[in-house]
Amino acid sequence: MSIELKVPEIGESITEVEIGEWLKKEGDTVKKDENVVSLESEKATVDLPAPEDGTISKVLKQKGEVAKVGEVIAHLETGKGESAPAKSESKAAEKSTPAKAERKTEERREAKTEKAPAEAASKPRSQQRSTNEEPETSTTSTEENIEPREAQASGSPGREEEIVPMSRLRRTVAERLVEAQRNAALLTTFNEIDMAEVMQFRKEYGEAFQSKHNVKLGFMSFFVKATIEALKQFPALNAEVRGTDIVYRNYYDIGVAIGSGKGLVVPVLRHAERMSFAEIEQTIGEFGRRAKENKLKIEELQGGTFTISNGGVYGSLLSTPIVNPPQSGVLGMHGIQDRPVAREGNVVIRPMMYIALTYDHRIVDGREAVTFLKRIKDTLENPARMLIEI
């Protein structure tokens, strides 16, 4: 029995996908729930599993082609033994092809050999090559059209080019980033944080935390908590512009930028204000694992009222993050470096981190943005205040 493999409903507003890598090819056998092909949407990459045991009998859409939701992209044959002859015939055809090609090549050589003396005889004696001259080096038709050596620099070894089409996810990310630059009045402000207290806090309680919750106490949970406290004080950074209105929210869905094999994705911590340190770390860890496996759900990437991006994990010292529309702000974390700073008239070495806030100046004033960042700095330099909410 033949089963149609169709593009499933992936998420709201998604009407088509781009065919990614075929994990199974025509003639391959598959088990029920085994992934067959990757489908790339505007927001995530998902795998299509086989509904039953069987054999892929026909692939209708190749990698890079676009298919609409509900469209048939392949056929799965569930009957045993039906696909084997086709596969055998395919192999036989493959074996016969080189033989045919070899016969044709030999025929061309024979024809060329017979033709050459006749052509030589028809030339005037003055144009015929003397037997004392060295024979010309034979070249292919491609080599005959090659420019002089001086003009070959771009084609020399080590200067090859490879053209790879952008994935659907990458194109969407690019479009949204350009949209943010075009439609919002973006501005960035900076500050720096002395991370000594947070690092000491992690050193003192990290082992007990991991033992109890089975997850490491990272920096991100501190930043999420500090950001929420700052957003409560400056609600415009948790709002969005909708037409001529400003939409303020009394909940905090914090997006966390995570690098995946397909590009940057931003899964969302829903109602992050209700989450504990452990729940934040566990959820982010799970997001990271599933992002690498392309198993994030569409609904986990939608929404978000504010975003935190940690370029420090890649070694970034300072950057200007771009707002994820329609949000009004994004916080950029960076690498921690020991630097000399002044403390009570003395120069001391402290673990310092630059932080950046990019915000939509249409609804967020400079004073609010600077004070927002200062609030995060003060909270992280005195992490105990997060526990007693001051």
Do 187 and 72 share a structural domain? no
Amino acid at 318: L
The CATH number linked to 12 is 2.40.50.100
Catalytic residue among 28, 53, 361, 378: 361
**Residue 86 is assigned to a structural domain of this protein:** no
Do 308 and 186 share a structural domain? yes
**Helix 220-233, helix 277-292: angle, nearest 10:** 120
d(CA 220, CA 179): 28
Residue 30 DSSP code: E
Q: Is 245 a catalytic residue?
A: no
pLDDT tens for 208-257 read: 999 999 999 999 999 999 999 999 999 999 999 999 999 999 999 999 99
Whether 327 has a pLDDT exceeding 90, the answer reads yes
**Residue 311 is assigned to a structural domain of this protein:** yes
> Which pLDDT score, from 0 to 100, does residue 174 have?
83
Task: Please state, in angstroms and as integers, the Cα–Cα distance from residue 159 to each residue in 148, 152, 155, 209, 361, following that order.
Answer: 17, 10, 6, 52, 45
Domain of 30? 2-77
Whether 153 has a pLDDT exceeding 50, the answer reads no
End residue of a domain, out of 27, 59, 77: 77
End residue of a domain, out of 77, 103, 138: 77
**Residue 275 is assigned to a structural domain of this protein:** yes
Beta strands per DSSP E along the chain: 2-6, 16-22, 29-30, 35-40, 45-49, 54-59, 66-68, 72-77, 186-194, 240-242, 245-247, 254-256, 258-260, 263-265, 268-269, 306-310, 329-333, 336-343, 346-360
Do 340 and 213 share a structural domain? yes
pLDDT tens for 21-38 read: 899 999 999 999 999 998
Whether 84 has a pLDDT exceeding 60, the answer reads no
What separation, in Å, do the N-terminal and C-terminal C-alpha atoms of the chain show? 67
**Residue 42 is assigned to a structural domain of this protein:** yes
> Which pLDDT score, from 0 to 100, does residue 308 have?
97
> Which pLDDT score, from 0 to 100, does residue 12 have?
64
**Residue 56 is assigned to a structural domain of this protein:** yes
**Residue 144 is assigned to a structural domain of this protein:** no
pLDDT tens for 53-64 read: 999 999 999 988
Q: Is 378 a catalytic residue?
A: no
Question: Confidence class of residue 196 from pLDDT cuts 50, 70 and 90?
Answer: very high
Do 73 and 189 share a structural domain? no
Q: Please give the full DSSP string across 69-137, using - where no structure is assigned.
A: TT-EEEEEE-STTSSHHHHHHHHHHHHHHHHHHHHHHHHHHHHHHHHHHHHHHHS-GGGSPPTTSPPPP
Do 339 and 199 share a structural domain? yes
Do 59 and 207 share a structural domain? no
**Which two three-digit tokens encode residue 9?**
């409903």
End residue of a domain, out of 40, 59, 77: 77
Question: Confidence class of residue 302 from pLDDT cuts 50, 70 and 90?
Answer: confident
> Which pLDDT score, from 0 to 100, does residue 248 have?
97
> Which pLDDT score, from 0 to 100, does residue 261 have?
66
Q: What is the CA radius of gyration of the chain?
A: 32
pLDDT tens for 113-152 read: 444 444 444 444 444 443 344 444 333 334 334 444 444 4
Do 349 and 216 share a structural domain? yes
Whether 269 has a pLDDT exceeding 80, the answer reads yes
Count of the separate structural domains present in the chain: 2
Question: Confidence class of residue 294 from pLDDT cuts 50, 70 and 90?
Answer: confident
**Residue 172 is assigned to a structural domain of this protein:** no
Do 207 and 344 share a structural domain? yes
Sole residue written with tokens 């950046």: 356
> Which pLDDT score, from 0 to 100, does residue 171 have?
82
Task: Please state, in angstroms and as integers, the Cα–Cα distance from residue 167 to each residue in 20, 40, 155, 180, following that order.
Answer: 8, 7, 27, 20
d(CA 181, CA 186): 7
pLDDT tens for 41-81 read: 876 778 889 999 999 999 999 988 899 989 999 999 997 54
Do 73 and 190 share a structural domain? no
**Residue 162 is assigned to a structural domain of this protein:** no
The CATH number linked to 262 is 3.30.559.10
| Top-confidence residue, 223 or 179 | 223
